[in-house]
Structure 1
Amino acid sequence: MQKKTLKVSLLYEERRATIWFLYIFYVLYFSYDLVYYYFLPKLPWFTHLPFNVLNYFMYLILTILLPISIILLKRNKPGYIKYIYFFNYTIIGGIIDIIYYNWNNLPYTSGNIVEIVIIIFSPIFINKKYFYIIFTGTIAKLLITGIILKDSIVSIPSILVFILGIISFIILHRFLSYVEAVKTGYNQQLDGIVKGIITTLELKDPYTRGHSERVAEYAQILAKESNQFNDDELKSFYYACLLHDIGKVNIPDTILTKPGKLTKEEFELIKTHPIVGAKAVEDVEGIADFMDVILHHHERWDGKGYPIGLKGDTISLAARITAIADAFDAMTSSRSYRSALPLQVAYNRVLEGKGTQFDPQLVELFIKVYPSWIKVYDSYNYKNNIKGGVINENPQT
């Protein structure tokens, strides 16, 4: 059974909103035309305009769009549908109106009621971009039509659209505020839980204190430089990096803090920590999408890593980024079996690992962001020196 992650839940809600949008659009559009052109004309007191035969072209377009929408829904891409309908309806509808009223030399009357419904209905998508597009697009259509037809009557529907747009924006703003409040609360809870887990891990192995935070900081800088992640992805990636060593809770303290070389059996046990860690977070919303960071951060570009031995770009980009950050911090931190290496030595070793241990393109990015990594390193050293009662203005370089 598929996990109901936040990403899946949002996609499900977008899908439901789109289906409702389609139902309302088609029912109102065709019902309005049916009533306006076929039922009301039978009333003796109703004055109506002759049927616009160009409407058949719009009917054809809407008929074609329906199977396209069904295909997009099946492919889990409902976000495109609302834009497709709006642009087609607005552009084609505007052209039809201009041709019809100009050809027949008739006073302009605004089109189908669905035009208003689209604006009123827009807040359910909780999408500012979509609202701005339909609001400005509808106003622009009316103004352009009025200018071409030289008919000032368009000011009336324009004012109505403007008023309804303001009301819809207020509703949308409230929806967005509620969503943001929920996200903020969730992120704060997740942040507290993750840091609590890290503290527990560091109690097992004091030599790794600060390691998770520094790795996450280094990796975040490198991920941003890659321009391959959006803001939400970077946030989830950060949390996953913080927990990249969570599987070590399953490793005995005697092995984690052993001052000498590990035996073959002990190293094999160490190599299980990525699998244990990935299993621990596979159902955690906000982290599960980047579970591969935990599972594959010890894989190597040449395929000689663990736990699976993936090679090249079969390793996810996020895991390849974390591998560099993890290795760099491991080298520049003191461990039970050795002292920290100087920054320049660690820097050179990362460069030496280009194309063997590390992704060569990411190593080039590492060179660019290295000054930022030094600032992170210095910042953590400064904090630790203050905690220890010593202020060192010239940390290790």
Structure 2
Amino acid sequence: MKNTSLLQEEKRATILFMWLFYIVFFLYDIVYYNLFPLLPWLADTAPDAVWYILSFIKHFIIICLIPVSLFLFKKEKPEKVKYIIVITFLVTNLVTDIYYYFGSVDSYSSGNLVEVVIILFSPIFINKRFFHLVTWGLILKYILVGLFIQDPIILFPVIINIVLALIAYILLHRILIYVKALKNSYSKQLEGIVKGVIATLELKDPYTRGHSERVAEYAKNLAKATGKLKESELDHFYYACLLHDIGKVNIPDTILTKSGKLTDEEYEIVKTHPVVGAKAIEDVEGIADNIAVVYHHHERWDGKGYPDGLVGEETPLVARITAIADAFDAMTSTRSYRPALPFEEAYKRILDGQGSQFDPALVKVFKQVYPDWITISKQYNKDY
């Protein structure tokens, strides 16, 4: 799921970039190639017919990018627009420059104000990859033109672009640092809020004190070991794991803390907590993307779980990871109806459940990280 706010900000930045690009692109060409040559002292700089033909082709191609961009906006893929515009601009400029100046006695006098706009405004996307594309793309363009036309004056626009790129990089670097600081601050606040909510749940059932934190730590460790979640996704996954049992606030205390075996009716009430929990977090930005953790962490590999009875990989990966972490901590924690099992016994039961209760591939990864889980548990007990 895409973060809606980020998607909207990407759209706004792309629209601003497009307006700047097209306004400067056309105004520059109108002024430089049509108005300047009318001045008496610049009359001999007027381009010839070949240049106008090449210019027409270039402008036609650039205009054709507008419907392409609108299509990508409609498909919710605005992040691709800036790459398409810049790459097309660089390629068309490269071809026209080489075609016009190769073998010509005229000294190279091209370059475009659009390039300045592209470089200086590239930081608005807060994207290093795009910045590198713009910078190295422009430098490579001039190097290739220089190799073809063998004119040393090509070094001048190269130097100008390098200077502008340094300015843009300083801006981008400062923006990235600021964004990182805001992100860390937001993450700390979100974590504090989430743990506050968990503390409320633990007041209902003292036996589960620390359960959510340990499950979140185990799950994050296992998720990282799979290599299937990006580093940037792990924190939000962790917060969702902290809230995996939040739906239990809706379960009566008499059922939640019952020391004996639950009746069928009571168990059906317990089985509602994933649905209730998912409903509670569905609009929480930063956690809702991992709503499957809350809704599906009691699904089983063999399809005998709840609430939907999903089979195998029908259950999202994040929920399959959480299921192992949840089961392991539940077995190694003291509950109102039984004492904690030894870690070795819980380890054996997880292995026995591969292919039935748990994802076999994840159980193999669990075997690798099991020593880490022992360390996590000891550290948690030490801290608390």
**Residue deviations 1:67-113 (CA, integer Å, cap 9, x gap):** 22221111111111111222222233123212311232210113222
Aligned amino acid, residue 166 of structure 2: I
Where do residues 112-127 of structure 1 align in structure 2 (5 Å cutoff)? 112-127=112-127
| 2:36 aligns with one of 28, 40, 49 | 40
Matched with 2:15 is: 19
Matched with 2:168 is: 168
Distance 1:383 1:36 in 2: 70
Matched with 2:47 is: 50
Distance 2:380 2:325 in 1: 15
The answer to whether 1:247 aligns with 2:243 is no
**Where does the alignment leave 5 or more consecutive residues of structure 2 unmatched?**
none
The CA RMSD measured in Å over matched residues stands at 2.0
**Residue deviations 1:230-272 (CA, integer Å, cap 9, x gap):** 2232111100001111111222222222111111222111111
Aligned amino acid, residue 364 of structure 1: K
Q: How many residue pairs end up in the alignment? A: 380
Question: For the structure 1 residues 6 and 185, does the alpha-carbon distance in structure 2 shift closer, same or farther, using more than 3 Å as the test?
Answer: farther
Distance 1:248 1:232 in 2: 29
Verify the 8 A CA contact 1:202 1:209 in the aligned structure 2. Answer: yes
The answer to whether 1:370 aligns with 2:370 is yes
Where do residues 1-397 of structure 1 align in structure 2 (5 Å cutoff)? 7-46=3-42, 47-51=44-48, 52=51, 53-383=53-383
Matched with 1:387 is: none
Tell me by how many angstroms 1:49 deviates. 4.4
Tell me by how many angstroms 1:177 deviates. 3.0
**Where does the alignment leave 5 or more consecutive residues of structure 1 unmatched?**
385-397
Aligned amino acid, residue 38 of structure 2: K
Tell me by how many angstroms 1:6 deviates. 8.9
Q: TM-score, normalised by structure 2?
A: 0.93
Tell me by how many angstroms 1:279 deviates. 1.5
Tell me by how many angstroms 1:203 deviates. 2.1
- Identity of aligned pairs, percent? 57
- Which region of structure 1 is more displaced relative to structure 2, 110-119 or 241-250? 110-119
Tell me by how many angstroms 1:204 deviates. 1.8
Verify the 8 A CA contact 1:83 1:130 in the aligned structure 2. Answer: yes
Q: Which stretches of structure 1, 4 residues or longer, exceed 6 Å deviation after superposition?
A: none
Distance 1:324 1:279 in 2: 23
Tell me by how many angstroms 1:20 deviates. 2.0
Residue 305 of structure 1 aligns to a residue in which SS?
A: coil
Residue 301 of structure 2 aligns to a residue in which SS?
A: coil
Verify the 8 A CA contact 2:202 2:208 in the aligned structure 1. Answer: yes
- Which region of structure 1 is more displaced relative to structure 2, 318-327 or 19-28? 19-28
